[in-house]
Structure 1
Amino acid sequence: MNWSLRRALAFALVATLSLSAPFLGRAAAVPFAVVAVLGAVVTDGWLFEVFSTAQDRREERLRTLVAFALAAAVVGLLVPLFEVPVGVFVASVLVVGYGDLGRRLVLQVRENRTLSMVGFVVVAAAAAFAGQAAVASFTDGAASYPEFVFVAASAALLAGIMRAFFVARDDPLVLATVALLLWLFAVLAPLSELPTALAWERVLVALAVTSAFGWVSRALGATSVAGMFTGVFLGLLAVVLGDYGWFIVLVSFFAVGSLSTKFRYEQKADRGVAEPNDGARGTGNVLGNSAAALIALLLYAAHAHVPLSGDVFLYAYTGSVATALADTLSSEVGGLFDAPRLVTTLERVDPGTDGAVTWQGELAGLTGAGVIAGLSFLLFDIGTTGAVVVVAAGVVGMTADSLAGATIEGRRLGNQSVNFLATLTGGVAGGLLALAVGLA
């Protein structure tokens, strides 16, 4: 067993201390507080050798272990203070603790980044599921196994995505983010009102379909490894928190957007307007175009807790996705044509200039918004007026993207931030227009 695998196993064993939470009650944080203290005082010896990272060895302090233990202790304190379910605490800690073990086990066999991320997600999800099941058995609580699978898979995917960008020393950030997500799911309980058979169908179909789409997108070079897992994560949430229709709308954006990116890619590369990395979209790009839709989806799932109809958030969701596809097609198609004009002054500029538009690109963008509106018409029975609202929201968001590109992109904000602002604008426009015309 090499050094890295041994350290990962040691962290996984520390994470297993979370299973004592059902017995400790309000003192769930104590075992991790003790580990943090021990980690702070150990500076050499076999214990230091087992837990130390390369950076720890240089600094002669077990800072990584201390940070992980303190983060787990803080989340443990939330259990009595804010009545956070014990299962949330256990699953959050186990996902972070066991995920890296899964990654290291794969790397022992084969040096492959994609497979190592799969190992992270699979082992983390298995540990989180087992932890929730154990908590239910320890406390004689209701065992909602479909919910356990959904929570475990969501937590593992989110942790895996974050781990692709951060190092072990960022365990506190990953742990806190996963815990907040699972706490939200505990409040929403999205599967609790479904019959058990239907809940199982929703979760298993969601995992199978989103994983298949993720694999295909990766195989076709449409996404990076992290982008693939981000797409699977968003798709899983769309199916479970919304329904199959919500997923179809989202995946249609990914599919059509990816095809448009590959369309005449070499020609766009020669013109300097092509997406980098051979058109493979990473997590930043996926989230920049989908984060607003995710917010609308979460608000839809929580509409019983907010003073607005769920239909408002349906139009916000479709409006943000319509914006994403409209903006993508506008850029990918418009970049192939000469003589673009700056949207703010209408002066001629070079192709690829932020905020530049062509009439061909605008027409393509309108078509993209129409595609999402047509799907929404079929899937959500929103009627002709509702479809017009979705198209209008997409055009508003696409225009906002062009205006932001001409004024603030590159100076204050990057491309992904501008994409988020544009899709957020389209989503807000969709919700407000639906309210204005009496659809919600």
Structure 2
Amino acid sequence: MGDRAMASGGRTVRDLRRENRTAVLQRLYFDGPLSRHTLGPATGLSSGSVSNVVAELVADGLLEEAGSVDSAGGRPRTLLRIAPGSGYLIGVDIGETRIRIELFDLTLAELARVECPLEATGGTRTDRYDVNVVVAHLREGITEVLAGGGIDPGSLLGVGIGVPGIVAHSAEDGAVVHGQTIGWDAVPLERLLRESALLPDSVPYRIDNGAMTLGQAEMWFGAGRGARDAVVVLFGSGVGACVVTDEATPGRALEWGHLTVRVRGRRCRCGALGCLEAYAGAEALLERWAEAGGRPPEGADEETALTAMLAAAYPPPHEDGTPVPADATALSVLEETAEYLGAGFADLINLFQPERILVGGWAGLQLGSRFLDLVRTHATSYALSYPAGRVTLGLGTLGPDAVTVGAAILPLADFFARGGHPARTEQQEPEPAWHRTVRERTAP
């Protein structure tokens, strides 16, 4: 009957083979190197299935030997690991002030990096996100990292891109970005990249919200490892979040920054009133400091200005150890911001009851643990006591560049889900005969 033979639950033999390959690849990726003997219990596969799958993956060049370990019987057992050079990935972060593009091998070791500044050319902040300019940066940057790494475009397993906004999909255009805060209204980003003929048609693009890619990176490699579920917060010029319920599959982006925290409140950059982002994003935080009489450094970018605000609110002591008085204005704005964030965190706790909430992004990491302690206090006071007592709140561990790592994970996760088969080798299976029979019986 071949690969069309049906297995339990309606899956075909081909489905089972792909799932077995996926199980072995994922366990070796997260926990390897491992021996064939260890892979059995780790994956739940029989020793025969492990041997068959490993033989296939070695023949495909995806696995390689990584030394040996002694066994109880005295015969050394060969260790296996993912072969780093068996495929390559590109991760892209379309950020607030720059586009970061990184080339990785299959183990996500960085091989090359390019950063393209986004500069405003007109009178509004959205000018820097001119779609044609962004696509041109992507074309040039991807070409540059491939050349820098000496990698042929055809060996790419995919390009992952983290963007600000909501990503929808259509049959004609692929990924379409609705980025209201940057002036993108249904931008067909995937189609525009395809039309540029930059990469072979066999190389997939995976485009998703930047908070979601950050969340995936922290769950795979950072502070989310081992959690059953988590909410990961991206705190930069604006704020966003991602809820992840399974370590191995992508999470779901939340437009958390546009949760209303104050009716008829401050105007948000999305156009609405009272959004959390209008109070807690770094851009709004610095605006509120200036409005309250603070003095952000003139001409400084947001990161430099936020550093100055934190230094004013939490000044280091004099060399002799005597304390330096805090800037009352900066401290007051930060403490008010902590309460807004705490209320927003309480909503996440009540809605999703996560095991962990992790804070990342350049602004979140810069604000650090001292500020997070104050946010935690407010979150606990606003949230229901039972879920608040079960959640832990902490900082991400992958640094401000984590979005590009998470973006590269998007095509990597797809690659694993296909059992390590490149997208170009995926074949459309013929539909089971009963599909046609049901259609004929129910046709008008």
Q: Which bracket does the TM-score occupy, shorter chain normalised?
A: under 0.3
Per residue, is there more helix in 1 or in 2? 1
User: If the length of structure 1 is used for normalisation, what is the TM-score?
Assistant: 0.26
User: If the length of structure 2 is used for normalisation, what is the TM-score?
Assistant: 0.26
Higher RCO (CA < 8 A, seq sep 6+): 2
Per residue, is there more strand in 1 or in 2? 2
